[in-house]
Amino acid sequence: MADSIMSKAATMEIPINSNGDTGTLPEDDSLEQAANLQWSLDEQVGSSRGTRDLQQVMVSGPNLNETSIVSGGYGGTAEGIISTSSIKGSNMHHSSSSSSSMTAEEASRGVAVEKIETVKKWGLNTYKCTKQMISERFGRGSRTVDLELEAQIEVLRDTKKKYENVLRLARALTNHFYNMVQTQHALGDTFADLSQKSPELRDEFGYNAETQKLLCKNGETLLGAVNFFVSSINTLVNKTMEDSLMTIKMYEGARLEFDAYRSDLEELSLGPKDAVAMARIDAAQQQYQVQKDKYERLRSDVIIKLKFLEENKVKVMHKQLLLFHNAISAYFAGNQQQLEQTLKQFNIKLRPPGADKPSWLEEQ
């Protein structure tokens, strides 16, 4: 009986409570009870044998560093045993994952805050500009005016409209004249065919066929000159002038923002001068200075672009108007040599006969 009790005490598990202290088992209170039981048995069966058995229990007892938690109670299967080492590893992994999650969450929170601040600034700026625009339209707000620069801007817009009209008419002339040249070419071919089939009118049809072919050739030369004129005007209107107008649009937007923040600063300056108000005035002063620098920079850009645009416009139009005049005059005067010389003067090359690449006439 003593052997059976000692064997049971030697194989039992010691559960660990939440504080790391040893707890009690439902069947055996502790190793101390086993020791007490052994001590009472020693008095009955002899001290020497009891002492050896007690030492065996203490030696073969559980190691606290390798203690396992039994979920199924004493004598349960191995499936219910969870190693404390795996619990420690799981806790470390969970701590690392929690730290990574916190870092990602903080980064996401920082991006969200940045976006909110950007939207807030945009909304405040839009509100100020809208308020300024409405005030100007109803005559209640003041605006910064540069009379000389605004006069130049108005001249540019008016000039662009007139040049667009010239471009539209020149394209219409090109289309009409192209149709006429194609008609002359078809008429010349018809005259040549009739000259072969009508012996009694061979000479008359032959003269007209040669005349139409010559007019067709000169017409193609004139079309080359007019097309070059149209291309240059299109570049001037839709690229050079449009680029200047885009800069002017940015300048006008900067002017509106500048006046909006200027009005805001003036309103704050007329209010109370407590600590909170002074802080708002300082912030408004900084924003005002930023908008002023932007306004002055774009104003300078507009002045420079308008100056270069005027110089470029005079240079381009002087050349193109001379080309247009000389080509039209030579064509209607029937001066083929002067017409060809005009194209050479302006480095205009026509498509050679039989070329596979479609001509500009076909691309219209």
Q: Is the pLDDT of residue 364 over 80?
A: no
Region of poorest pLDDT, from 161-165, 192-196, 346-350: 346-350
CA distance 195 to 202: 4
User: pLDDT above 90 covers what percent of the chain?
Assistant: 43
263-270 mean pLDDT = 86
Q: In the Cβ-directed half-sphere of 275, how many Cα atoms lie within 13 Å?
A: 0
* Angle, vertex CA 20, rays to CA 16 and CA 22, nearest 5: 50
C-alpha 318 chain-centroid distance:
42
Predicted confidence (pLDDT) per residue in 283-326, tens digit: 889 989 999 999 999 999 999 999 999 999 999 999 999 999 99
Residues in the chain: 364
Predicted confidence (pLDDT) per residue in 164-180, tens digit: 999 999 999 999 999 99
Beta partners for residue 70, in sequence order: 81
CA distance 128 to 263: 9
pLDDT of residue 98: 60
Beta partners for residue 206, in sequence order: none
Q: Is the pLDDT of residue 99 over 80?
A: no
Query: How high is the mean pLDDT of the chain?
Result: 76
Q: Give me the helices (H) in 334-359, please.
A: 336-345
Region of poorest pLDDT, from 1-15, 264-278, 344-358: 1-15
CA distance 263 to 260: 5
pTM > 0.85: no
Cα→Cα distances 123→109, 128, 251, 280, Å: 21, 9, 21, 18
pLDDT of residue 9: 43
Give the model's confidence band at 101: pLDDT under 50 very low, under 70 low, under 90 confident, else very high: low
Predicted confidence (pLDDT) per residue in 40-78, tens digit: 544 544 444 444 444 444 444 444 444 444 444 434 444
Region of poorest pLDDT, from 154-163, 214-223, 297-306, 342-351: 342-351
pLDDT of residue 143: 83
The residue behind tokens 């009986």 is 1
Q: Is the pLDDT of residue 152 over 80?
A: yes
User: Given the DSSP bridges, would you call strands 81-83 and 68-70 parallel, antiparallel or unpaired?
Assistant: antiparallel
Cα→Cα distances 115→109, 118, 122, 129, Å: 10, 5, 11, 21
Q: What is the DSSP string of 257-296?
A: HHHHHHHHHHHHHTS--SHHHHHHHHHHHHHHHHHHHHHH
Region of poorest pLDDT, from 215-219, 258-262, 270-274: 270-274
More confident residue, 164 or 24: 164
Q: What is the DSSP string of 207-261?
A: HHHHHHHHHHHHHHHHHHHHHHHHHHHHHIIIIIIHHHHHHHHHHHHHHHHHHHH
Which H or E element spans position 68? Answer: strand 68-70
Which H or E element spans position 102? Answer: helix 84-137
Query: Which residues are CB-contacts of 329 (< 8 A; sequence separation ≥ 6)?
Result: 338
SS3 353: coil
pLDDT of residue 249: 95
Q: Is the pLDDT of residue 8 over 50?
A: no
Q: Is the pLDDT of residue 37 over 60?
A: no
